Amino acid sequence: MSIFTIAEIGINHNGDLKIAKELIDEAKKAGFDSVKFQKRNIDKVYTQDFLNSERESPWGKTQRAQKEGLEFGKNEYDEINKYCVNKNIKWFASSWDLDSQEFINSYDLDYNKIASPMIVYKELLHQVAKQKKHTFISTGMSNLDDIQEAVNIFKKNDCSFELMHCVSTYPMSVEDANLQKINTLKQKFKCNVGYSGHETGLAISYGAVGLGISSLERHITLNRAMYGSDQAASLEPSGFKMLIGVIKTIESAMGDGNININEKEIEVAKKLRAHIK
């Protein structure tokens, strides 16, 4: 089974459709299967006190100005939808509220995503599961009970899903990766398990691939020095090209695990064992 690869654009487009299209282009060139965005109704996700609080950003001096500056609306998503269709690359989004999920569902998309903060938002889980689209469920900031409740909701609604091991720190430290959790999730929930990484570099993602993940998600950016909270935990174009290349190499190298003599070894064995009676 090939690993399904997700290039997480998220809000790394910084509210600029041109940057979003460049990121889609780079993801397609690298060989990713899909790109993913994030959608919020900021008045539903954040309190008014928070939105009115001070924050310096390219869009103004309040949290509201910053959050509004990072959000795409219908015109932008219509263009993204058209652009991805033309580029022959899948796209989908993680929604942070019920209105946003309803908005995203207005597009003919194949997948849904539950972001780690939303795994405890039962009303959203039910809304997504009822759509019966294959859903990627990230498990950052969650204990076994949280994950079990989410799994139960998707099973009850007969909606296909897979879990994604995730550590919700940005960037994630190597010592926090806990990749063995991938095997724990497989054993506990008897389902496919992917990996959503927030680390710098590629080594941890390669380790996850070696553990037999079904999907891999990494944040992508044009430049890690750009404005934004997710940029430092993202890969630049050269990095995600290398990532896809190594994933394909590891997949080819994994084999089927059967113990037998490779046909290419037969002549070598005859030569090197000729002296053995």
Question: Is residue 247 a contact partner of residue 209, using CB atoms and an 8 Å limit?
Answer: yes
- 90 DSSP 8-state letter: E
Instruction: Tell me the pLDDT of the chain averaged across its residues.
Output: 96
- Residue-level pLDDT at 224: 87
- Cβ distance 163 to 193 under 8 Å? yes
Cα-trace Rg, the chain: 21
Token pair recorded at residue 109: 């998309």
Task: Give tens-digit pLDDT for 157-183.
Answer: 999 999 999 999 989 999 999 999 999
What is the 3-class SS of 125-157, one letter each residue? HHHHHCCCCEEEEECCCCCHHHHHHHHHHHHHC
Residue 175 to residue 117: CA distance in whole angstroms:
22
| Confidence category of residue 226, pLDDT binned at 50, 70, 90 | confident
> What is the sign of the dihedral through the CA atoms of 49, 50, 55 and 57?
negative
Higher pLDDT: 227 or 197? It is 197
Q: Which residue type sits at 174? A: V
Which pLDDT score is estimated for 203? 96
- The predicted structure's pLDDT at residue 185: 98
Domain map (residue ranges) of the chain:
4-272
Structure tokens at 176: 């926090």
pLDDT digits (tens, 9 = 90+) for 67-115: 999 999 999 999 999 999 999 999 999 999 999 999 999 999 999 999 9
pLDDT at res. 47: 97
* pLDDT cut 70: percent of the chain above it: 100
**For residue 230, is pLDDT > 80?**
yes
What tens digit of pLDDT does each residue of 237-253 get?
Answer: 999 999 999 999 999 99
| Strand ranges for 32-85 from DSSP E | 34-39, 54-57, 60-62
Vertex 124: Cα angle to 118 and 125 (nearest 5): 80
pLDDT band for 264, please (50, 70, 90 cuts): very high
Residue pLDDT, tens place only, 30-60: 999 999 999 999 999 999 999 999 999 999 9
Confidence of residue 120 (pLDDT cuts 50, 70, 90): very high
Class of domain 4-272 as given by CATH: alpha beta
Q: What pLDDT score was predicted for residue 180?
A: 98
Residue 207: closest CA among 241, 236, 183, 230: 183
pLDDT band for position 1 (cuts 50, 70, 90): low
Per-residue pLDDT at 158: 98
Query: Which pLDDT value is given to residue 229?
Result: 81
Structure tokens at 220: 């992508």
